[in-house]
């Protein structure tokens, strides 16, 4: 028995493309779910990705390999290796047969254009996606009619608001979409009576992948522990960020007045904090007056970057984009200060 699976390049590319948008970002302290999980049960190859808020599972049926029975395996290809994997797969014709073999810390792919040996973790602490799906379906009546949607219409709601509320009563009723100053409807995809399905019928094709329901339950919110709590205030709207910046300015001003005059480091830190907070507040105020939509989008982008947890990396790349040399700045900070003796 070998831990290997064979499928076409087209199918593997499809699995990666379908799940990549749901993968957790690197650098946020969630290494367990960083990247894409490749899970073979000997019948299908599954690709799984999650960012704790969404979960995506795509699958492709494996090609039969006479004389080479396959045993199940699962490996996680982390985010930094995905571009290499996707480029290697895309270099093949769609009908090319690719063989995946699991090693202890690597995934080996062999195809007409050579072999790729890519780091891939066993990740025994990866969440049980099958149990999670069963949890979601546990209280859903098996004979409940399914509603079909046209996914290409979903992107039309992206400007309805950063956070929206939805309501759907099932069947052929429209989906109600509510934003702060927005309301909309989306009609279900029309289905001929003979094509109508119940929940059980729609999921029947997935039973081989999901396996039996063990009765154990798993909450999506608890799939992985939260990252370390941030020590700075966050804001998701322009008013919230404006308030945070004004409060920070006042706090820094008060700290500057209370700091011991002989503590030059503390005085400088309070002064710099207050200056930067006030500058940011004035710039945000001007942006909100000039273009409220752009201000809201900018705050949303900043929030995403702060939640990503790697603002140092963002700042490093920004410095390079602006034509600066951040390494030179780092070297200057590292140089010891020389104090002349009298």
- In this prediction, residue 257 has a pLDDT band, given cuts at 50, 70 and 90, of confident
- What is the band of 173 on the pLDDT scale with cuts at 50, 70, 90? confident
Express each pLDDT in 30-52 by its tens digit.
Answer: 677 889 999 999 899 999 999 88
In angstroms, rounded to a whole number, what is the distance separating the alpha carbons of residues 293 and 298? 9
Predicted local distance difference test score (pLDDT) of residue 229: 53
Question: What pLDDT is stored for residue 175 in this prediction?
Answer: 92
Looking at per-residue pLDDT, the higher value among 229 and 203 belongs to: 203
Residue 12's pLDDT band, with cuts at 50, 70 and 90, is very high
Pick the CATH number of 4-119 from 3.20.20.70, 3.30.70.580, 3.10.150.10, 3.40.50.10260: 3.10.150.10
Distance CA 267, CA 164 (A): 44
Residue 28: the pLDDT is 54
Q: pLDDT digits over 187-225, tens only?
A: 998 877 777 788 888 888 898 899 888 888 888 777 766
pLDDT at 252 over 90: no
Return the top range by mean pLDDT from 76-90, 171-185, 266-280. 76-90
**Count of residues making up the chain:** 342
pLDDT digit string (tens) for 48-89? 999 888 899 999 999 876 555 567 899 999 888 999 999 999
Instruction: Tell me the CA distances in angstroms from 196 to 39, 96, 171, 189, one per residue in order.
Output: 31, 36, 10, 11
Element holding 39 (H helix, E strand):
strand 36-40
pTM: 0.70
State residue 70's pLDDT score. Answer: 67
Q: Above pLDDT 70, what percent of the chain?
A: 89
Residue 144 has a pLDDT of 80
Using the Cα atoms of residue 38, residue 39, residue 45 and residue 46 in order, give the sign of their dihedral: negative
**Residue 339: predicted pLDDT:** 46
How many CA atoms does the CB half-sphere of 258 hold within 13 Å?
A: 6
**pLDDT tens, position by position, 303-328:** 877 776 667 777 888 888 888 888 88
Q: Cβ(105)–Cβ(121) under 8 Å?
A: yes
pLDDT at 9 over 90: yes
For 191, 201, 293, the CA distances from 145, given in Å and listed in that order, are: 12, 9, 40
Of 202 and 228, the one with more pLDDT:
202
Confidence band for 121, pLDDT divided at 50, 70 and 90: confident
The pLDDT assigned to 36 comes to: 94
Inter-residue contact 83 to 74 (CB < 8 Å): no
Q: Which residues pair with 100 in a beta bridge?
A: 5, 109
Out of 132-136, 189-193, 279-283, 321-325, least confident range = 189-193
Q: How many C-beta atoms surround the C-beta of residue 193 within 10 A? A: 5
Tokens of 74: 């699962």
Q: Taking phi first (over 0 means left), then psi (-120 to 50 degrees means alpha), and beta for anything else, what does residue 49 get? A: beta
Average pLDDT over the chain, rounded to an integer: 84
pLDDT at 317 (0 to 100) = 82
The domain limits of the chain are: 4-119, 129-201+217-222, 238-334
Among the ranges given (48-57, 221-230, 284-293), the one the predictor scored with the smallest mean pLDDT:
221-230
């Amino acid at each position: 028995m070998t831990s290997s699976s064979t499928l076409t390049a087209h199918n593997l590319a499809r699995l990666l493309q379908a799940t990549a948008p749901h993968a957790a970002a690197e650098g946020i302290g969630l290494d367990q779910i960083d990247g894409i999980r490749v899970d073979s049960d000997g019948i299908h190859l599954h690709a799984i990705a999650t960012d704790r808020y969404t979960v995506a599972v795509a699958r492709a049926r494996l090609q039969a390999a006479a004389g080479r029975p396959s045993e199940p395996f699962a490996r996680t290809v982390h985010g930094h290796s995905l571009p290499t994997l996707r480029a290697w797969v895309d270099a093949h014709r769609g009908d090319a047969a690719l063989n995946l073999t699991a090693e202890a810390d690597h995934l080996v792919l062999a195809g007409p254009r050579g072999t790729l040996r890519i780091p891939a973790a066993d990740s025994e602490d990866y969440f049980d996606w099958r149990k999670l799906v069963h949890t979601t379906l546990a209280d859903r009546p098996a004979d409940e009619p399914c509603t079909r949607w046209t996914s290409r219409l979903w992107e039309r709601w992206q400007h309805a608001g950063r956070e929206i509320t939805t309501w759907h009563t099932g069947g052929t009723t429209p989906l109600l979409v509510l934003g702060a100053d927005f309301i909309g409807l989306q009609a279900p995809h029309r289905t001929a009576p003979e094509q109508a399905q119940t929940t059980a019928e729609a999921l029947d094709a997935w039973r081989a992948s999901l396996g039996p329901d063990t009765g154990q339950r798993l909450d999506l919110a608890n799939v992985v522990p939260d990252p370390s709590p941030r020590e700075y205030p966050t804001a998701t709207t322009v008013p919230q960020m404006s308030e945070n910046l004004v409060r920070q300015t006042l706090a820094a001003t008060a700290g500057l007045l209370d700091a011991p005059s002989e503590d030059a480091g503390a005085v400088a830190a309070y002064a710099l904090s207050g200056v930067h907070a006030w500058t940011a507040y004035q710039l945000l105020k001007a942006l909100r007056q000039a273009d409220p939509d752009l201000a809201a989008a900018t705050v949303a982008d900043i929030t995403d970057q702060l939640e990503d947890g790697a603002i140092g990396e963002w700042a490093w790349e920004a410095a390079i984009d602006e034509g600066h040399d951040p390494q030179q700045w780092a070297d200057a900070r590292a140089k010891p200060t020389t104090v002349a003796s009298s």
